[in-house]
């Protein structure tokens, strides 16, 4: 059985660790890619009531959970969007967000590809990661450069006492994403950039 206090620490506190990044408090539009049950999007929506947060989740059942949790918490600045990031970038999410977040979703090169078409110029991708992996970070930097992003800070965080090996990776959008992005849904994960 899962201890509720541990669940709060592991999910809510971990989600809120990004508030250490100064640019996040001024964000007006945030997309949470692969939102799952609503982390980090819902805790950030509660902490940042001035921001509009779209939680992108391709599984409709999970979107229903997000909607119920948002309603139960009285959070009216967050909504579940039942779409994959690649499709949403073609359907109305292109260059619409100041910040894109991703927690426990995919390797850095894939996250960069999901985020680049969604981010406005000078927008920032924030990725929650565990133990640092040099190969993944190198591939992330290569993919970022191809997508109009620049790798930024990797900040170690300790969202709760005893948390180890937790890092926030940031990428700044410095150029428009090339016209060939987003690729078809699923291609980024199957053939990630920067993996050659």
Let me know: does 181 contact 116? Beta carbons within 8 Å.
yes
Q: What 3-state DSSP class applies to 91? A: helix
The pTM is what?
A: 0.95
Q: Is the pLDDT of residue 117 over 90?
A: yes
Beta strands (DSSP E) in the chain are 29-33, 52-56, 78-81, 97-103, 119-129, 149-157, 166-173
Q: Which fold has domain 4-190?
A: Rossmann fold (3.40.50)
What is the per-residue pLDDT across 170-182, written as a single tens digit (0 to 9) for each? Answer: 999 999 999 999 9
d(CA 145, CA 142): 5
* Confidence band of 196 (pLDDT split at 50, 70, 90): low
Total residue length of the chain:
196
Distance CA 116, CA 194 (A): 15
Domain ranges of the chain: 4-190
Res. 2: pLDDT tops 90: no
Asked whether 100 and 113 are in contact (CB, 8 A), the reply is no
Pairing mode, if any, of strands 52-56 and 78-81? parallel
**Residue 8's pLDDT band (cuts 50, 70, 90):** low
Using one digit for the tens of pLDDT, what is the confidence trace for 36-47?
Answer: 989 999 999 999
SS (H, E, C) 92-117: CCCCCEEEEEEECCCCHHHHHHHHCC
* Residues 193 and 185: beta-carbon distance below 8 Å: no
């Amino acid at each position: 059985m899962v201890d509720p206090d541990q669940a709060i620490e592991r999910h809510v506190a971990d989600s809120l660790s990004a508030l250490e990044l100064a640019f996040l408090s001024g964000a007006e539009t945030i997309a949470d890619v692969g939102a799952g049950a609503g982390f980090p999007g819902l805790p950030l929506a509660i902490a940042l009531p001035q921001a509009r947060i779209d939680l992108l989740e391709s599984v409709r059942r999970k979107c229903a959970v997000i909607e119920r949790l948002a309603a139960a918490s009285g959070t009216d600045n967050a909504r579940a969007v039942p779409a994959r990031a690649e499709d949403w970038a073609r359907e109305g999410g292109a260059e619409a967000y100041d910040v894109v977040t991703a927690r426990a979703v995919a390797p850095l090169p894939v996250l960069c590809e999901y985020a680049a078409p969604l981010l406005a110029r000078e927008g920032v991708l924030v990725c929650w990661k565990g133990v640092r992996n040099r190969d993944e970070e190198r591939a992330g930097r290569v993919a970022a450069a191809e997508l109009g992003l620049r790798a930024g800070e990797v900040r170690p965080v300790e969202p709760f006492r005893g948390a180890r090996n937790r890092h926030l990776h940031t990428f700044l959008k410095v150029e428009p994403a090339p016209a060939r992005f987003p690729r078809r849904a699923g291609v980024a994960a199957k053939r990630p950039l920067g993996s050659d």
